[in-house]
Amino acid sequence: MAKLIRWFEIPVKDFKRAVKFYTKVLRVEFIFEEFRGIPHAIFKNTVENNFEISGALVEVKDFPENTLGGILFFNADSGINEILQRVEQNGGRILLKKTLIKNTTEDGRVYIAKTLIDNNTGYFAYFLDSEGNKMGLYSNS
């Protein structure tokens, strides 16, 4: 059975403070990565916690308070483009179309790594739902 939620992101303004908070409160470890120039603290899946869903703390700097909130990434393996089409047909708005998850090295080279979501290469997209909530889609194809 496929999981409906594949990934989550928690936006944080003070990255170090948030990492410390979640480390102490939930007793978790993090893997630190930078994607598209944005620091991410990815919740580390360990033998002790064995998470069912993966996610990350994501540093935000210049976002208005009313746009902050956690982002759920729904499973879009059934067809990310078709889901985005239905978003628009039903009163939502696409914020970022299907995008390959990739990163750049310090010298500017682009590489496509397997994600920590499901150890595959993957794609993501952002949309606003009919109520103005920012949500995401994730697909490994």
pTM reported for the whole predicted model:
0.73
Residue 89, phi then psi, degrees to nearest 5: -70, -20
Helices (H), the chain: 15-26, 80-89
The tens digit of pLDDT for each residue in 51-94 reads 677 899 999 887 666 556 889 999 999 899 999 999 999 889 99
Q: CATH assignment of 5-139?
A: 3.10.180.10
What gap in Å lies between CA 113 and CA 136, rounded to an integer?
19
- Find the angle CA(99)-CA(103)-CA(105) to the nearest 5 degrees: 160
